[in-house]
Amino acid sequence: MTERPFLRTFTTPAALCALGFAAAMAAVLQYSLRAYVPGSLDPGGFTLANFADLLKPLYARVFFDTVVICAVTAVATLIVGYPLAYALVHIEQPILKSTLLVIVVTPLFLGEVVRTYSWIIVLGNNGFINSILLSLGLVEKPLQLMFTSFGVVVALVHVTLPVMVIMLAAGLSHIDRDYARAAESLGAGPIRVFLTVTLPLSMPGVVAGTTTAFAWTFSAFATPQLIGGGRVNMISNLVYQLGFASFNFPFAATLCVAGLALTAVVLGLLQIAARPLQKIKVH
């Protein structure tokens, strides 16, 4: 092996950061194994009761809802994002291309709270959608969009879209155009080229995008808090309620640990399911 004197210099800051994160994680883990003393901010003695409490229907339900909301959001983002990513990669006009890119990326630059409030304006009973539907006479009373899972998913798709589109576009742009040209030369029309060549070759990007979208939504807080309004709860909201409304830090820590473990398990399963796709060598 050759000497790499810079390696140590460059990795030291990273190692220090990692140490900090590890210490924080250890603290959370430690809290999750302590008993809750009502009326006190200090935790009690060692116990596994917090983890047993996770199985109570009240809490298990939130975990289940979170996974469902994340899964639905990831799939919906994929469906909305794929055509956008495809257009982004295949549009040749520079102005059109950069316009599309700016539109796609903008949600990343808005604060989470600002973005969520704008969705309240759109989804509310007197909001944009309902006033249009009412004035057109399509509905008689406002549709209930706020405080529903549907509203939460819509807003989450908006947040997640930039990440999905960027990951899909990266995957799509790595597909050599000659594959599509070869298929065309062999008599395949545009739809067949897409279904038999472009789509299968873009699967690594689809898997990466969906996985990231899932993880990205799992920790959502402001969106379910404001749009769900307490009627749609995700893990982060539960942690907030227990930690900052009930001051039950040990159980809040347990929820964090369980949430982290669940994310790891789900992502691991996705990777295993996607393993056959990794064999596709696009180049």
Contacts with another protein, residue ranges (CB under 8 A) = 176, 178-179, 181-189, 192, 196-197, 200-201, 279-282
Query: What's the closest the beta carbon of residue 178 comes to another protein, in angstroms?
Result: 4
Query: What's the closest the beta carbon of residue 97 comes to another protein, in angstroms?
Result: 16
Query: What's the closest the beta carbon of residue 214 comes to another protein, in angstroms?
Result: 24
Specify the DSSP element, H or E, that contains 195. Answer: none
- The residue (of 150 and 179) whose beta carbon lies closer to another protein is 179
Query: What's the closest the beta carbon of residue 182 comes to another protein, in angstroms?
Result: 4
The Cα 2–Cα 11 span in angstroms is 17
Burial letters for 31-60: b for 16+ Cβ neighbours within 10 Å, e otherwise? bbbbebeeeeeebeeeeeebeebeeeeebe
The Cα 59–Cα 220 span in angstroms is 17
Query: What's the closest the beta carbon of residue 186 comes to another protein, in angstroms?
Result: 4
The Cα 179–Cα 166 span in angstroms is 22
Query: What's the closest the beta carbon of residue 96 comes to another protein, in angstroms?
Result: 17
- The residue (of 135 and 185) whose beta carbon lies closer to another protein is 185
- The residue (of 8 and 275) whose beta carbon lies closer to another protein is 275
- Taking CA atoms, 192 is separated from 7, 184, 186, 233, 283, in Å, by 49, 9, 11, 43, 21
**Of 226, 231, 234, whose CA–CA distance to 120 is shortest?**
226
Specify the DSSP element, H or E, that contains 142. Answer: none
- The residue (of 273 and 280) whose beta carbon lies closer to another protein is 280
- The residue (of 101 and 188) whose beta carbon lies closer to another protein is 188
Longest CA pairwise span in the chain (Å): 75
- The residue (of 1 and 191) whose beta carbon lies closer to another protein is 191
